[in-house]
């Protein structure tokens, strides 16, 4: 499988990365090189093989449903580019 | 000894405990070495001198009372991927500009609890994506190793010798260093250079596809990626969560064992942290390997592999055989599919993990007319080319209509890769010996690699299988190539049998000796 410039632009939008016409053209070539490389996986007979879901066989750890942390709103917003009274500020979302 | 930076961790530990040296003296030696070298080698992206002096002072107080921890007073460098409270943590990306976390990663917390001193944050490929440390927003790291050549010098018939004029004439050979700058490997290039150039006693690193072992091999240092789940991932900037593991880069096998013992822990904050006590890795060093079964996988003899790599491998086999190990040929039939499967799984996980860099909660924000344009502009400006490439691949293989063909197929192949190893271990093999990398360190801005991303990816061909199967792997220096550059061998073990790796790597180290670059910086 290979991608064209139109697909690259669509994927870039899905990934929320602005691309110029020039970027999109360059990326098309690069992505096709990588997709060409991974194509060889189709040779592998995977009938009856389950996809890996966990690299080490383990029970998912569970913890007690208790409040153990919190009350640190100021810490959480400390690195944000724009905040107001411990809220993150973003451009207007709803008209 | 005049230069304290030459001490290994185990040597410094003994001198600190015996009060022959102080943590403050040791730390000052490293800080001045960094001051002299960093402008050239670019290993550190942030030096925390004040913090280091404060920590060293506290270590000296504890040592005086005889209360020193396992790493008391040992100065370390920390890869920029580890969250360090109040200190530069950017995964060497522009998108995390100015980020100073309000928390400390579990691995670094463990190190400080054992008394280690932080010298600063180490350069790396952006978000750990790269094999040459050239994708860092902070510029490439330079390998302290340079190629050298043997020149035959014709001596004049009458020349000034050591004891006055002599007239012997004849020729002599001398090694001269080439000026070309080489990469230290990646993504933990800053860690590898800092350890190799004596700019820290040891360093933390992380390995998703070979990012500890490949740079260790390129710089003549020891690097171990432990079993998935051995070190907590909490507080480490995520790249590909099912593959990422932290581990140390150190000057020798014993130092790597000392560091891993402190870094590893059982952590309730990481659900994939495995509930097993951390053994005393150092105790494994020096144990005989007589009767150990060492597997040699035929699939690692790849086409176009340089002669010196094959020769190095054969030397490693001979050393282990001489030490009493039984050498057996094995087959890991799905080896060649590990790298292509990795280049689906890792970008898929990365595209999801890196979705959080949106200009809202931390780091860079580029304004836009609405929120979507703000996201798109921020991410376009904040991520470098390699990171964008991987996010794009990941987004594509996870998008509607392609998920089964790419991602699901890769995860099935991943199970087959893991099964290959399980079969070999079930047949009684204790450890697997392979080369660590397909070549020695290459030049900065290598044209072939810049033109074709897949060429760069091939650097991880011998290391990536280990991440795909979640196994432990260690790279240990084993010799120099004809141009005088270090080469490493890799040992792969059963899950949670890091002790076997230290035990076997120590035998290789004993036979091969240790290597350090000639100082030019």
Range of the domain at A29: 5-42
**Chain A residues close to B368, C-beta within 8 Å:** 91
pLDDT of the residue at B274: 94
Is B315 a member of any domain? yes
Closest CA to B195 of B74, B285, B48, B72: B74
Tokens 């230069």 belong to B3
Please say if B273 is a catalytic residue. no
Please say if B79 is a catalytic residue. yes
Number of domains chain B is built from = 2
Range of the domain at B165: 148-177
* Cβ proximity of B106 and B269 under 8 Å: yes
**Dihedral sign from CA coordinates of B195, B199, B200, B203:** negative
pLDDT in tens, A28-42: 999 999 999 999 999
Query: Can you tell me the ipTM of this complex?
Result: 0.96
* Cβ proximity of B191 and B165 under 8 Å: no
Which of B435, B463, B497 terminates a domain? The answer is: B435
Which of B415, B435, B455 terminates a domain? The answer is: B435
> What CATH number does the domain containing A30 carry?
1.10.20
CB atoms near residue B169 (< 10 Å): 11
Is B443 a member of any domain? no
Is A81 a member of any domain? no
Is B165 a member of any domain? yes
pLDDT of the residue at B158: 58
Is A58 a member of any domain? no
Determine the straight-line distance between the first and last CA of chain B, rounded to whole angstroms. Answer: 21
**Strands (DSSP E) found in B342-482:** 431-435, 473-480
| Residue B490, beta-bridge partner list | B434, B475
pLDDT of the residue at B450: 80
* Cβ proximity of B493 and B438 under 8 Å: no
Find out whether the peptide bond into B187 is cis, omega within 30 degrees of 0: yes
Q: What whole-number distance in Å separates Cα of residue B362 and Cα of residue B296?
A: 47
Q: What whole-number distance in Å separates Cα of residue A29 and Cα of residue B400?
A: 22
Strand B245-250 to B222-225 pairing? antiparallel
Helix, strand or coil, per DSSP, at residue B351: helix
pLDDT of the residue at B170: 73
DSSP string, A21-70: HHHHHHHHHHHHHHHHHHGGGGGS--TTPPPPS-SS--PPP---SS--S-
Is B313 a member of any domain? yes
A52: nearest CB among B337, B343, B414? B414
pLDDT in tens, chain B (521 residues): 469 999 999 999 999 999 999 999 999 999 999 999 999 999 999 999 999 999 999 999 999 999 999 999 999 999 999 999 999 999 999 999 999 999 999 999 999 999 999 999 999 999 999 999 999 999 999 999 999 987 777 766 655 555 555 555 677 777 888 999 999 999 999 999 999 999 999 999 999 999 999 999 999 999 999 999 999 999 999 999 999 999 999 999 999 999 999 999 999 999 999 999 999 999 999 999 999 999 999 999 988 888 999 999 999 999 999 999 999 999 999 999 999 999 999 999 999 999 999 999 999 999 999 999 999 999 999 999 999 999 999 999 999 899 999 999 999 999 999 999 999 999 999 999 999 999 999 999 988 888 788 888 888 999 999 999 999 999 999 999 999 999 999 999 999 999 999 999 999 999 999 999 999 99
CB atoms near residue B376 (< 10 Å): 21
Is B50 a member of any domain? no
B371: nearest CB among A42, A81, A90? A90
Q: What whole-number distance in Å separates Cα of residue B192 and Cα of residue B79?
A: 10
Q: What whole-number distance in Å separates Cα of residue B111 and Cα of residue B117?
A: 8
**Chain B residues close to A24, C-beta within 8 Å:** none
Which member of B109, B136, B187, B191 is catalytic?
B187
A24 touches chain B (CB under 8 A): no
Residues, chain B: 521
Is B381 a member of any domain? yes
Which of B435, B455, B486 terminates a domain? The answer is: B435
Please say if B187 is a catalytic residue. yes
Closest CA to B417 of A86, A83, A65, A46: A46
**Chain A residues close to B414, C-beta within 8 Å:** 51-52
Q: What does residue B204 show for φ and ψ, rounded to 5 degrees?
A: -85, 155
Number of domains chain A is built from = 1
Is A68 a member of any domain? no
B375: nearest CB among A16, A27, A77? A16
B388 touches chain A (CB under 8 A): yes
Tokens 């036979």 belong to B511
Is A31 a member of any domain? yes
Q: What does residue B344 show for φ and ψ, rounded to 5 degrees?
A: -105, -50
Long-range contacts of B160-164 (CB under 8 A, 24+ apart): none
**Dihedral sign from CA coordinates of B195, B199, B200, B205:** negative
Is A36 a member of any domain? yes
pLDDT of the residue at B1: 46
Is A19 a member of any domain? yes
């Amino acid at each position: 499988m290979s991608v064209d410039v139109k697909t690259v632009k669509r994927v870039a939008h899905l990934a929320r990365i602005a691309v110029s016409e020039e970027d999109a053209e360059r990326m098309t070539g690069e992505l096709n090189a990588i997709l060409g490389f991974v194509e060889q996986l189709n040779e592998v007979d995977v009938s009856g093989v389950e996809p890996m879901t966990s690299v080490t066989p383990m029970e998912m750890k569970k913890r007690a449903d208790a409040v153990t942390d919190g009350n640190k709103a100021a810490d959480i917003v400390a690195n944000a580019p724009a905040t107001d009274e411990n809220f993150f500020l973003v451009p207007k979302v709803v008209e | 000894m005049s230069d304290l930076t030459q001490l290994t961790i185990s040597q410094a530990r003994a001198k600190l405990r015996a009060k022959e040296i102080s943590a403050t003296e040791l730390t000052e030696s490293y800080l001045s070495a960094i001051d002299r070298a960093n402008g050239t080698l670019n290993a550190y992206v942030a030096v925390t001198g004040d913090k280091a002096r404060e920590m060293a002072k506290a270590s000296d107080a504890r040592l005086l009372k005889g209360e020193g921890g396992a790493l008391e007073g040992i100065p370390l460098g920390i890869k920029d991927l580890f969250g360090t409270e109040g200190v530069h943590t950017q995964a060497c990306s522009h998108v995390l500009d100015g980020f100073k976390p309000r928390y400390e990663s579990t691995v670094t917390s463990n190190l400080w609890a054992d008394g280690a001193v932080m010298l600063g944050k180490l350069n790396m490929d952006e978000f750990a994506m790269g094999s040459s440390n050239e994708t860092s927003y902070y510029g490439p790291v330079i390998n302290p190793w340079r190629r050298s050549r043997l020149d035959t010098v014709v001596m004049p018939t009458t020349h000034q010798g050591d004891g006055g004029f002599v007239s012997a004439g004849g020729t002599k050979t001398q090694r001269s260093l080439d000026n070309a700058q080489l990469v230290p490997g990646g993504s933990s290039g800053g860690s590898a250079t800092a350890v190799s150039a004596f700019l820290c006693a040891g360093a933390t690193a992380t390995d998703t596809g070979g990012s500890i072992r490949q740079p260790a091999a390129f710089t003549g240092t020891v690097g171990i990626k432990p079993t998935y789940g051995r070190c907590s991932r909490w507080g480490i900037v995520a790249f590909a969560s099912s593959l990422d593991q932290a581990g140390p880069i150190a000057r020798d096998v014993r130092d790597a064992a000392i560091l891993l013992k402190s870094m590893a822990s059982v952590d309730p904050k990481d659900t994939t942290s495995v509930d097993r006590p951390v053994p005393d890795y150092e105790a494994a060093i020096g144990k005989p390997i007589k009767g150990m079964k060492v597997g040699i996988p035929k699939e690692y003899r790849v086409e176009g592999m340089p002669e010196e790599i094959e020769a190095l491998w054969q030397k490693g086999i001979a050393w282990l055989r001489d030490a009493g190990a039984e050498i057996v040929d094995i087959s890991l039939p799905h080896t060649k599919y590990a790298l292509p499967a990795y280049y689906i799984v890792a970008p898929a996980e990365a595209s999801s993990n890196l979705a959080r860099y949106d200009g809202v909660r931390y780091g860079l924000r580029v304004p836009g007319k609405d929120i979507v344009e703000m996201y798109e502009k921020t991410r376009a400006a904040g991520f470098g080319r390699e990171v964008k490439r991987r996010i794009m691949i990941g987004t594509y293989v996870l998008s509607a209509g392609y998920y089964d063909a790419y991602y699901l197929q890769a995860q099935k192949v991943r199970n087959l890769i893991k099964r290959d190893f399980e079969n070999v271990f079930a047949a009684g093999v204790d450890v697997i010996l392979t080369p660590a990398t397909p070549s020695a360190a290459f030049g900065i801005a290598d044209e072939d690699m810049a033109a074709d991303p897949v060429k760069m990816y091939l650097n991880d061909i011998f290391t990536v299988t280990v991440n795909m199967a979640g196994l432990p792997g260690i790279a240990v220096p084993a010799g120099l190539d004809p141009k005088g550059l270090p080469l490493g061998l890799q040992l792969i073990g059963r899950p949670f049998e890091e002790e076997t790796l230290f035990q076997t790597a120590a035998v290789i180290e004993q036979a091969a000796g240790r290597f350090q670059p000639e100082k030019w910086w």
